[in-house]
Structure 1
Amino acid sequence: MTNSIVEGQGELKQNRAFVTLMISQAISNLGDWLHLLAILTLVGLRWNATPWEITFVTLSAALPILLTGPFAGALADRLNRKWLMIIADGARIIIVGAFIFADQIWHIYVLLILKSLFDVMFSPAKNGKLKEIVPHHQLAQAVSISSVIEQMSKIIGPALGGLLVAGFGITWCFVMDAASFLISGIILLWIPGHRVIQRVDSDVTGVEEETAGSTRVKQSFWKETLEGIRMLASLPRVGTSLLLLAAAILFLQFADSQTVILFRQLPGISGDLLGWCVAASGVGTLIAAMSVRKWKTAGHGLKMGLGTAVTGLVIGTAGLVVGVWPSAGMGAQLLLISLFAMAGAGIGFAVVPFQILLQEQTPEPMTGRVFGTVGSVMTTSNILGPVTGGLLVTSFGVIPAFICSGILLTLLGVLYLLKKPRAKTGHMEVGIPAQSVAPGEVS
């Protein structure tokens, strides 16, 4: 692979395009958490939604990602990624603003579906742009920084959302979210529209890359979509990891999608507890994201196995806490916040290694298609999980659903730990799972 670096090869902080992209991401991610917490508070605590109604809220956000992920990835590989991100931000300004006028739950469903359609357009374009502006040897650091930003938004967003809801009302969360997309779109104007890092990957991908003196080979939309699937199949570490963590996300969603229902079991529960628990989870994942690259003595499989097992133990314990300590006293709330912090750390160790692996192993011209396909696979888990969780909660109650989720995650983590590594290539472990989610980001 040949790299022609137009913009400096020094520290990432000297890469202006990367810094600009991260600033835009930080503002957009912050608005996403304001928006999600406002919806959960509105639907789950104010409208007292049923488990199935909450499940449909999750499905409305996830289903478009499943159906359109690979197509959005192919689109990101065919068109200018910068302008795709700006268009997605512009559309989401209008959609999020419309939440202010929603007064029935079906309004929430429709708006979430529309917003997710543009979320899925933005995500593969952003991931592809990251590889356009960051040299290959700095990708691991760039992905870690991006993950840290995502988790910091989970800390700041819920806290700010709680202040806005308490002081001004839920409406201001939607106003701030719409403003975040406006600012993000404006900042993206300063990102280069052209490729900064030139790569020749035609021997790997069979796709002729666009350079200053060449024009990209035009292929059918369907053919480009299928190429993303074939590329995943040709990367056994990535493909195996994707399938294994998809199972983890499936089991996690049994409980995670019904967290509001769990909290409603505590008499006199404060509406702020959800925000604090989400923030605590973000702190845990932030710590994990910052620690993954420093913990060099452990392979990806060990990190992911421990992270999944810890998450399972914590999820099961959270269900038991509510079951055996059914009071909303300060002790119970502090314990729940601590458990969510530990769960966040576990999720971080199960997610960040794969994000690094995926970025390093995917050829840049294929980034959109591969990330779109990965998003669709993970979204399948994010859809089946809440549906199964709704069935479990309706049939057996929310506490058994949490315990079941915890047991399955713990067993899956143990399987990760028991999986024998086959070999090593360079510094990357072969045959060991490590993965990244989705939310909605997915985005």
Structure 2
Amino acid sequence: MKQQSSRTEEPHLSNVENPSRPVNSARNDVFPSSTPDNSSGESATKSSKSLWTNLKFVRLFMAYALATFGDWFDALAIQIMVAYRWGADPLIIALIPVCMAVPGILFGSVAGALADRLHKVRIMILCDGITIALTVGILFAPSPAWLLPLLALRAMMSVFHVPAQQALTRQIVAEEQLFQASSLNGFVNQCAKIAGPLLGAVVLAFFSPQICILINASARLLSGAVLWPLRRLVEKKEALVTDEHNEENQKEPETFFKQWQQGWKYLRHTHTVRNTIVFGCLGLMSILMVEYQFTTLFREIKPGNESMLGWLGSSVGAGAVFIILLLNRLPRLGYGWGLGGGYFLIGAGIAGLGWVGPDTSTAWIIMLGLCTGLGNGLFMVTMNYLLQKETSPDYVGRVFGIQNSLYSVVLVAAPLAGGAIIRSAGPSPTFQMIGLATLAIGLTGILFQRMLWSLNRRSTSSEKVGSAQQGVS
């Protein structure tokens, strides 16, 4: 249940928020006010237009859709190739997600700093090009000994690609349309989770796994081609500091290492963003303990009904798509209700699966899957939007890079911990316990949302960036 987000653009980047005002606005809601900033009539005009009139956003959205669809098409083929065609040991199969998570741990924060320092579109195009080469390499990999390093290197390209996308989105989309852009990309991600494996299975029924891998390479090629006209996009830097001390420091050229340090300092001094990432890590740890164990659960309670897993996966995806479409029509939603409510629903769905028995009907499984999917979509869209909106534009890449790094650590540690708990306690009690823990985390987010995401405790953008830079100096 991962989350991914989107990105967009405007001709001269003039719809970035006014640098003279704090980046963190005085609202604790997912849907920003429709009232435009009085200091920018031009921004108000642009924000009133449909997001689809922003041709640069359309290009980025198409590129993201192609890349995401290809990745899910590819994932199923690789599993089939390793498990069935090569007959690999279960340990080798277990190493696949680990190899794909390690690059995020090692390079997540570095990739974020580079996204804020270098040209974002060119980073994305370069990553697409290298991904194509690595995917072709996977196509001809003779054994797992070749496959695992190639998968790790390809995952590294995504580590560098995502922060660049997020940072570019923050720069080129009007603040009033950031939530819509995030939800659209979440919609594509959830649709790809459903359609990608389904269509991949159809292709596998008539062709080999190599055809699916080739389709992924082609999708990445199209993604790079769609982005190619944006390679000369002029990126405008935001003037974020106002005090004299920091103005003097900004005159000196900043090294990459200093910018990397500033990303961590900024996160430490930014109340809302820091709490959001910590809250996300806690909930994600609980979820990932059981996310890879659904087969273990159904194998124990319904050993002769393999279709249950398919019904569950489809209902989770359908629930996420439904809530994302609904969020686009809501006038207002608090951060606490989006983040805490999302984890509450996910926890309720997981705990409910822990009480499923041999006589439980398929309809009940579908209802629990829908509940889990609703929570997943609600949390994912809110998280991506909050991090984009509440982060200063010059720090978006670094913040998402740090988030990626921390989440990758969770991605490695949580499944191992969950497997150990299931081995000692059994699948059903573990699902009940983990589900209730996730539900409690969500309830905490709802009840204490004013403390976790309140605006009256936030400092202004210049104060936060100034304190971060002074800490680095």
TM-score (norm. length: structure 1): 0.82
What is the aligned counterpart of 1:152 among 160, 167, 191?
A: 191
| Runs of 5+ unmatched residues, structure 2 | 1-17, 20-39, 459-473
The residue correspondences of 1:221-240 to structure 2 (distance < 5 A) are 221-240=256-275
Q: 1:406 to 1:366 in 2, by over 3 A?
A: same
Any conservation in 1 of the 2:344–2:439 contact (CA below 8 Å)? yes
Any conservation in 2 of the 1:89–1:185 contact (CA below 8 Å)? yes
Partner of 2:208: 169
Kindly state the Cα deviation for residue 294 of structure 1 after the two structures are TM-superposed.
Answer: 4.0
Partner of 2:149: 110
Q: 1:220 to 1:343 in 2, by over 3 A?
A: same
Comparing 18-27 with 193-202, greater Cα deviation is found at 193-202
Kindly state the Cα deviation for residue 171 of structure 1 after the two structures are TM-superposed.
Answer: 2.5
Is 1:358 paired with 2:387? yes
Kindly state the Cα deviation for residue 219 of structure 1 after the two structures are TM-superposed.
Answer: 1.9
Distance in 1 (CA, whole Å) between partners of 2:438 and 2:314 is 22
Q: 1:304 to 1:41 in 2, by over 3 A?
A: farther
| Runs of 5+ unmatched residues, structure 1 | 209-214, 429-443
Distance in 2 (CA, whole Å) between partners of 1:419 and 1:142 is 28
Partner of 1:325: 358
**How many residue pairs get matched?**
412
Kindly state the Cα deviation for residue 102 of structure 1 after the two structures are TM-superposed.
Answer: 4.4
Distance in 2 (CA, whole Å) between partners of 1:12 and 1:122 is 23
Partner of 2:431: 402
Distance in 1 (CA, whole Å) between partners of 2:430 and 2:145 is 26
Distance in 2 (CA, whole Å) between partners of 1:259 and 1:46 is 24
Distance in 2 (CA, whole Å) between partners of 1:51 and 1:342 is 31
Distance in 2 (CA, whole Å) between partners of 1:274 and 1:53 is 23
Q: 1:221 to 1:424 in 2, by over 3 A?
A: closer
Comparing 364-373 with 20-29, greater Cα deviation is found at 364-373
Partner of 1:381: 410
Q: 1:77 to 1:285 in 2, by over 3 A?
A: same
Q: 1:188 to 1:277 in 2, by over 3 A?
A: farther
Q: 1:315 to 1:33 in 2, by over 3 A?
A: same
Kindly state the Cα deviation for residue 106 of structure 1 after the two structures are TM-superposed.
Answer: 4.4
Is 1:299 paired with 2:338? no
Kindly state the Cα deviation for residue 168 of structure 1 after the two structures are TM-superposed.
Answer: 2.0
Partner of 2:8: none
Partner of 2:13: none
- Any idea what SS the aligned residue of 1:64 has? helix
Comparing 229-238 with 53-62, greater Cα deviation is found at 53-62
- Any idea what SS the aligned residue of 1:362 has? coil
CA displacement 1:10-42 (0-9 Å, x = unmatched): 321111111100000001010111122333455
Kindly state the Cα deviation for residue 298 of structure 1 after the two structures are TM-superposed.
Answer: 4.4
- Any idea what SS the aligned residue of 1:189 has? helix
Distance in 1 (CA, whole Å) between partners of 2:378 and 2:125 is 31
Kindly state the Cα deviation for residue 203 of structure 1 after the two structures are TM-superposed.
Answer: 3.6
Kindly state the Cα deviation for residue 107 of structure 1 after the two structures are TM-superposed.
Answer: 4.1
Choose 1 or 2 for highest CA Rg: 2
Is 1:370 paired with 2:399? yes
Kindly state the Cα deviation for residue 300 of structure 1 after the two structures are TM-superposed.
Answer: 1.6
Any conservation in 1 of the 2:86–2:143 contact (CA below 8 Å)? no
Any conservation in 2 of the 1:51–1:258 contact (CA below 8 Å)? no
Comparing 7-16 with 382-391, greater Cα deviation is found at 7-16
- Any idea what SS the aligned residue of 2:230 has? coil
- Any idea what SS the aligned residue of 1:421 has? helix
In structure 2, give the amino acid aligned to 1:303. G
Q: 1:393 to 1:424 in 2, by over 3 A?
A: closer
In structure 1, give the amino acid aligned to 2:392. P
Q: 1:207 to 1:396 in 2, by over 3 A?
A: farther
Partner of 1:280: 315
CA displacement 1:342-365 (0-9 Å, x = unmatched): 212111222211211111121222
- Any idea what SS the aligned residue of 2:229 has? coil
Partner of 1:348: 377
Kindly state the Cα deviation for residue 166 of structure 1 after the two structures are TM-superposed.
Answer: 2.2
In structure 2, give the amino acid aligned to 1:227. Q
**Cα root mean square deviation, aligned:** 3.2
